Amino acid sequence: MSRNQCFLIAVAGFLAISCGSGTGPDDPGTLKTDAVAKEVRATIDDSAFTATSVRGAFINGALSIFGTDGRRSVMITATNLASAGTYLLYTGNPYTALATIIDGNAGQFSTGYGGGGTLILTMATPEHIKGNFRFNAYTSVGSGRGKPVASVVDGVFDITRP
């Protein structure tokens, strides 16, 4: 499977998990599936990032974490996870674990295009996901292909479901 195919599968998995059918408190008869987030934050290229909108889930071994501040977004996806533990973020790993940064000014960077990092899950249940992450991401287009262009350190997430 190519890197681009892995990335597209990861994005599709995130969208399937994060697009809940619930409409919230105005419709009490509808199952609410969106996560209620506490935090997703990190340092991206020496600049603080704190997400103002967060989604996340851990369902049947599939993990999806997404945070955005309106200009930059961080996304981490993985499959076949048994529980809490340490997982590597790079192309070809057995968990299809990838991390992506989308920057409205600089473009998109992913461990699916090269680079790598670590995801540490300290809590992994359908009701609560918590842990930390760090990774280097590469770009897929232009003259920077294969060149590390984004560094993420001190990443933290803590997401609970209602």
pLDDT of residue 144: 60
The predicted-structure confidence for 103-154, as pLDDT tens digits, reads as follows 988 889 999 888 899 999 999 999 999 999 999 999 876 556 667 789 999 9
Q: Is 131 exposed, middle or buried (0-12, 13-18, 19+ CB in 10 A)?
A: buried
Residue with tokens 């059918």: 21
Q: Is the pLDDT of residue 15 over 60?
A: no
CB 45 within 8 A of CB 148: no
Query: Under a CB-based contact definition with an 8 Å cutoff, are residues 37 and 69 in contact?
Result: no
Tens digits of residue pLDDT in 51-98: 999 999 999 999 999 999 999 999 999 999 988 999 999 888 899 999
pLDDT tens track for 18-50: 443 333 333 333 334 454 558 999 999 999 999
